[in-house]
Amino acid sequence: MNKKRKELLVSAISNGTVIDHIPAENVFQVFKILSLDKTKHQVYFGTNLESKKYGTKGIIKISDTFFKEEVINKIALVAPTATLIEIRDYEVASKVSISIPSKIEGIVKCFNPNCVTNMEAVKTKFEVLFDETGEIKLACHYCEKTTSKKNMTFFM
């Protein structure tokens, strides 16, 4: 009986971060948010990978890189199902499901051109809401306009 190989082995990272369970359609958005096209560190990524839980998923591995809360909040807005795994000396140091914050500050631009945050040096503030379908929406603290996930523009 000839067993066919069903998995592709990818090198383990010694230190860094693995972002797993990214919705397949959002992998490149997470890639952009993290400015991974400009990094000097090794980056492995896959998209449209088989997932028993989600159907398809994406994964990104970044060597020698760890993320602060502000960056994790950006990931949460576009990939709320993601899992963040920190690797230290080839071992899992921590593994957490990303949680969506109830409020965010200074990471997303207000889409309203007349908002004070787009006219003066005022830090953006949003309340994170969900519409009737469960999609994330952001309500601006200043102009009270609401924007959907597809219209979010992140400060880089």
**62 and 83: one domain?**
yes
Last residue of a domain, one of 78, 97, 116: 97
Task: Say what the alpha-carbon torsion angle 126, 35, 118, 111 is, to the nearest 10 degrees.
Answer: -60
| Domains contained in the chain, number | 2
CA 156 to chain centre: 13
Nearest to 71 by CA among 88, 86, 50: 86
CATH of the domain at 129: 2.30.30.20
Which pLDDT value is given to residue 6? 62
> What pLDDT digit, counting tens, does each position of 74-128 carry?
999 999 999 999 999 999 999 999 999 999 999 999 999 999 999 999 999 999 9
CATH of the domain at 79: 3.30.70.140
**93 and 125: one domain?**
no
Tell whether the model's pLDDT for residue 156 goes beyond 90. Answer: no
Residue 5 lies in a domain: no
Query: Could you give the angle at the alpha carbon of 53 between the alpha carbons of 52 and 56, nearest 5°?
Result: 70
Return phi, psi of residue 20, to 5°: -110, 165
